[in-house]
Structure 1
Amino acid sequence: MAHHNFSPSTYFQTIGSHAAALVIADGDTVTVSTLDANGYDLNNAHQAADPNPMSGPFFIEGAAPGDALAVEIIEIEMTRATGWTRQGLAWHLVDPHQVRAMPPREKIFWDINPRQNSITLQKPPAALKDWSIPIVPMIGCFGVAPDGGEAISTATSGHHGGNMDYRGFGEGVTAYFPVSVPGALFFLGDVHGAQGDGEIAGTGIETSAEITFKVRLLKNRKMRWPRGENETSIFTVGNARPLDQALQHATTEMLVWLEQDYGLDKIAASHFLGMNVRYDVANVFNPAYSVACRLEKSALAALK
């Protein structure tokens, strides 16, 4: 098992079967730099076009269709003292009569202070003069190449992962993706310093970052939609529009997981899910919405 430090020279606005930027092995760790969602680096220099330029792809030796790739997010370190968002809520998330009252969707800037673990508006409205939020970094867009030679825009998401913008994909989380092409071809980028559920403002705190992750290869591990696991819960993510279709995908993937790993048939799994499931509205801004279906490990412990 090796550790790799990787600084990209090329970035991608699609997730697909691009030429590998780095070949790594099962169990390796990588520290990689990423750009913000508009393609700016740690020095605020414009390095790539938007949306969400990706670092990678990373070719994992031995990965083949039908396997799963586990990606442990070890650390997310923001490399710039500023981030940005868009002002106002997304227009489709308020009642029609409120749309004209929404402020212009201009870019606004925030100060990121790791020493104080805080993020503050540079020019706050009077009511938020003394307001700040804690730094809770997450990866907005990451995933593996889809099959069939398809290259999918980093503006959206699907079976392969992509621009899910789920605040649950933070430090200490292991994400799981279905492998569809040899080597998996893993991409990542679009770090947010913080974000609420749904990305209802259309962005998180967009900034550049350095991510350290570890890969593990799970051979012959059938899955259809992204999964995740942290210290307290497991979750599945469905990506689609309308919102109820994303919820269907996430629920179905959790049903399969309970059958695979916990020995429940559909009757038992439906009872268990009905009493224990939690749903997170992960994203309702992107072309495909994202919903996370979540189970607490404390509830799962009762199955053993």
Structure 2
Amino acid sequence: MILETGTVLQPGSGPIPAPLYLPASEANTLWGWLPCETDRAVLTIDPGDVVTIDTVSHEGILDDQGRDPVAYFARHGVPAEAVLDDAVAIAASEGRRDPAVDGPHGVTGPIAVRGAEPGDVLTMTVLEATPRVPYGVISNRHGRGALAGELPRGELGLSVSVFASVEDDPSGGGLVGRLPRTPGGPVSVSFPLRPFLGIMGVAVAGPERPHSVPPGSHGGNIDINLLVAGTSLHLPVQVPGALAYVGDPHFAQGDGEVALTAMEASLRATIRFDLVKRQDARALFGEISGPLAETADYLVPTGLDEDLDVAVQKCVRAALDLLEARFGMEESLGYAYLSAATDFDISQVVDLVKGVHARIRVSDFDE
């Protein structure tokens, strides 16, 4: 669903496609941390249920931006009524976040899925991802990014946040993001929006919440830009009920996300939650040990590690396991196929744990 330029989806307002709705209220969100086994579900559903979930971007609510989204976005010409009420409430909440140790991301959930047990696979299918506001922010901050220590340049200080507007594409191609024009420069830059959730995950076992920045076998901050509407993410369940969650909404992102963030902005996502029991999961996915994405065209195994070389190796191994389980492909033939026909893309290099994902074309296989 694409709304008209300028539309703002305040909590509970506008289209809510699913019969179940989860707003991003203070009670329904974590800030900077992901759910663990001991967290209480804010919603309990059955396998196959569809839920419309509001998410709030961290851009504009963080301490180094003033923790006042109304004032922050006013500096970019955004009126107060176009700032999300739930973003204002989260930013104003006391004692929720310590900027010295906590992650930046707002996370909506967790959602318990009845019957989910460790060893099963939870499939989250994104049916819609709708912008809640007509603007976003792209940041190079916190001493991070692919060129940490080099950018931002000294005269810009320690933080650069670029405001990006959402506009109608003059060619009729929907909505685009537009960057400010370089002072004195002749070029105006716009790019297509491809909204997706950077964080999709399940809870980890034990009583300790994971930090929201590094992704892992639980999913979390995987930042795979293929996960737009119409795609799925398969995750190995680690705790009873799965305790799923979403967050880190994006309007657009290039593979790599090199500056630290991409075009970050709040989304309303409608997601179907399906459960694949252990035996069926092994036949479909093999020994799935981490996030596996699926689009209409590709199976997308992943590799995650602090070392990008190791992340690639893990992704290749995951791809080989998938080829054997799904298509009965012998290892040496699978290795040859991956080398000849499969792209291995860098998901992101800025989240402490780096991500790689492979795009295996399903049309190559005659099933």
Any idea what the Cα deviations from partners look like across 1:107-157, whole Å, max 9, x if unmatched? 221112367511112464443652211111111112001223342111111
Secondary structure (helix, strand or coil) at the match of 1:45 reads: helix
What is the letter of the counterpart of residue 237 of structure 1?
Answer: T
Q: 1:95 to 1:135 in 2, by over 3 A?
A: closer
1:30: which partner in 2? 51
Judge which range, 33-42 or 252-261, deviates more. 33-42
1:265: which partner in 2? 330
Tell me, in whole angstroms, the C-alpha distance in 2 between the residues paired with 1:234 and 1:148: 31
The structure where strand makes up a greater share of residues is: 1
Larger Cα Rg: Structure 1 or Structure 2?
Answer: 2
Residues 20 and 52 in structure 2, CA contact (< 8 A), matched pair in contact too: yes
Any idea what the Cα deviations from partners look like across 1:241-290, whole Å, max 9, x if unmatched? 11011112211111111121111232332232222221110000111011
1:256: which partner in 2? 321
2:108: which partner in 1? 55
- 1:103 is displaced (CA, Å) by 4.8
Segments ≥4 residues shifted beyond 6 Å = 88-91, 95-99
What is the letter of the counterpart of residue 344 of structure 2?
Answer: Y
Q: 1:97 to 1:164 in 2, by over 3 A?
A: closer
TM-score, normalising length: structure 1: 0.90
Unaligned runs of 5+ in 1: none
TM-score, normalising length: structure 2: 0.75
Secondary structure (helix, strand or coil) at the match of 2:106 reads: coil
Unaligned runs of 5+ in 2: 1-17, 62-68, 70-82, 92-96, 98-102, 282-286
1:21: which partner in 2? 42
Any idea what the Cα deviations from partners look like across 1:1-22, whole Å, max 9, x if unmatched? x831111333112222211010
1:1-304 to 2 correspondence within 5 Å?
3-9=19-25, 10=27, 11-12=29-30, 13-15=32-34, 16-17=36-37, 18-38=39-59, 39=61, 42-43=84-85, 45-48=88-91, 49=97, 51-87=104-140, 93-94=146-147, 100=153, 103-104=156-157, 105-113=159-167, 116-122=174-180, 124-127=182-185, 129-220=187-278, 221=281, 222-301=287-366, 304=367
Tell me, in whole angstroms, the C-alpha distance in 1 between the residues paired with 2:106 and 2:229: 21
Q: 1:149 to 1:248 in 2, by over 3 A?
A: farther
Residues 132 and 266 in structure 2, CA contact (< 8 A), matched pair in contact too: yes
Provide the identity percentage.
Answer: 28
Pairs aligned (count): 301
Residues 90 and 285 in structure 1, CA contact (< 8 A), matched pair in contact too: no
Residues 145 and 349 in structure 2, CA contact (< 8 A), matched pair in contact too: no
Residues 240 and 290 in structure 1, CA contact (< 8 A), matched pair in contact too: yes
- 1:98 is displaced (CA, Å) by 7.5
